[in-house]
């Protein structure tokens, strides 16, 4: 993982009420007492962000949202803006998660607009990318990642670019119990870093943390993060329980 500080993030997806959020974050805070050398962030659902902000106040865990509309405000029934997130104390936002792309039809272009809006409001975008099983089997892993990243990052001002986070999440490894091997993940991460150097310059590429996501567990986290270009993990299922999420964090803490 180079000189980059490991970044471990829980993406809770559509799980946890506000009260369950308070309970989980309180347990997590206790379990992580004294654990250092790692950055920890969580992305609860929108309805629990207020409760999460209160519970996390003054602690070391960062707070993010799972999605956001690219406009500042307007007639977008059911949507949430960057301003609303910042007002709650949110610091980052996931953009382009494969579930948003596949289930909700988000295009590469829309993902790029969200990323730009997030940066304009000082929210750190965690840009997600990754191929499906069919795309991997037909040898299209790299072209798919390249298309997703180019569309989202083209023309991004270089002075802002070092702040972003990229998450590589092969769709076939999400929620399936199938994890990319450390070698498969490292190959994709090295490709992504090369592409970031091309698009955003080598200094930014060396700074940007690239997380791996897809069935990360306490038992496989350390091996994945021992790879040179794997700087963290984006965790779904195993982040919903304090013991397993803290187990992952402890496994990679320096
Ligand atoms: P799982 O850890 O449940 O496979 O989910 C990964 C993911 O999609 C995180 O964003």
What's the CA-to-centroid distance between 74 and ligand 1, angstroms? 31
Rounded Cα gap, residues 42 and 26, in angstroms:
13
Closest of 219, 213, 212 to residue 237, by C-alpha: 213
Residue 109 in any domain: the answer is yes
231 lines ligand 1 (CB under 6 A): no
Tell me the CA distances in angstroms from 90 to 13, 87, 135, 155, one per residue in order.
Answer: 16, 7, 34, 26
Q: How many CA atoms lie within 13 A of 39 on its CB side?
A: 14
pLDDT, residue 160, reads: 85
Residue 110 in any domain: the answer is yes
- CATH number reported for the structural domain that contains residue 200 in this entry: 3.20.20.70
What's the CA-to-centroid distance between 173 and ligand 1, angstroms? 8
- Angle at Cα 111 formed by Cα 108 and Cα 182, nearest 5°? 80
169 annotated active-site: yes
What's the CA-to-centroid distance between 68 and ligand 1, angstroms? 19
Which candidate in 97, 106, 189, 227 is catalytic?
A: 97
The confidence band for 64, taking pLDDT boundaries of 50, 70 and 90, is very high
Residue 22 in any domain: the answer is yes
pLDDT, residue 226, reads: 97
- Residue 199 corresponds to which tokens in the numbers above? 């698009």
Domain, as residue range, for 221: 7-253
216 lines ligand 1 (CB under 6 A): yes
What's the rounded mean pLDDT across residues 222-243? 98
Which candidate in 99, 106, 169, 227 is catalytic?
A: 169
Task: Check pLDDT > 60 for residue 1.
Answer: no
The confidence band for 61, taking pLDDT boundaries of 50, 70 and 90, is very high
Number of domains comprising the chain: 1
Residue 2 in any domain: the answer is no
178 lines ligand 1 (CB under 6 A): no
pLDDT, residue 76, reads: 98
Three-class secondary structure of residue 141 per DSSP: helix
Residue with tokens 């946890």, as numbered in its chain: 16
pLDDT, residue 177, reads: 87
Closest of 78, 108, 79 to residue 95, by C-alpha: 108
pLDDT, residue 2, reads: 57
Query: What is the DSSP pairing of strand 232-235 with strand 209-213?
Result: parallel
Rounded Cα gap, residues 165 and 128, in angstroms:
9
Residue 214 in any domain: the answer is yes
109 annotated active-site: no
Residue 60 in any domain: the answer is yes
pLDDT 10s digits, 108-143: 999 999 999 999 999 999 999 999 999 999 999 999
What's the CA-to-centroid distance between 128 and ligand 1, angstroms? 11
236 lines ligand 1 (CB under 6 A): yes
The atom of ligand 1 lying closest to the CA of 175 is 4
The confidence band for 154, taking pLDDT boundaries of 50, 70 and 90, is confident
What's the CA-to-centroid distance between 240 and ligand 1, angstroms? 11
Say if CB 236 and CB 174 are below 8 A apart: yes
pLDDT 10s digits, 202-215: 999 999 999 999 99
214 lines ligand 1 (CB under 6 A): yes
Tell me the CA distances in angstroms from 65 to 5, 16, 90, 127, 254, one per residue in order.
Answer: 21, 14, 7, 12, 27
Residue 1 in any domain: the answer is no
Residue 171 in any domain: the answer is yes
What's the rounded mean pLDDT across residues 49-77? 97
Rounded Cα gap, residues 231 and 210, in angstroms:
5
Q: How many CB atoms lie within 10 A of CB 205?
A: 20
């Amino acid at each position: 993982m180079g000189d980059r500080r490991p970044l471990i993030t829980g993406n809770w997806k559509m799980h946890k009420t506000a009260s369950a959020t308070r309970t989980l974050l309180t347990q997590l805070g206790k379990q992580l007492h004294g654990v250092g050398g790692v950055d920890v962030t969580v992305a609860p659902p929108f309805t629990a962000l207020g409760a999460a902000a209160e519970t996390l106040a003054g602690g070391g865990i960062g707070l993010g949202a799972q999605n956001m509309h690219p406009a500042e405000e307007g007639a977008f029934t059911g949507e949430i803006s960057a301003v609303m997130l910042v007002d709650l104390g949110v610091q980052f936002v996931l953009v382009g998660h494969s579930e948003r792309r596949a289930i909700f039809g988000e295009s590469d272009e829309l993902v790029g607009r969200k990323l730009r809006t997030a940066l304009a409001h000082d929210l750190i975008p965690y840009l997600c990318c990754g191929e499906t099983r069919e795309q991997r089997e037909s040898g299209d892993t790299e072209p798919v990642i390249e298309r997703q990243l180019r569309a989202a990052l083209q023309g991004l001002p270089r002075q802002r670019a070092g702040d972003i986070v990229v998450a590589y999440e092969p769709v076939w490894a999400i929620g399936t119990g199938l994890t990319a091997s450390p070698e498969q993940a490292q190959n994709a991460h090295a490709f992504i870093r090369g592409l970031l150097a091309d698009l955003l310059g080598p200094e930014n590429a060396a700074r940007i943390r690239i997380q791996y996501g897809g069935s990360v567990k306490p038992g496989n986290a350390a091996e994945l993060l021992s790879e040179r270009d794997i700087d963290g993990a984006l965790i779904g299922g195993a982040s919903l329980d304090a013991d397993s999420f803290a187990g992952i964090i402890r496994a990679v803490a320096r």
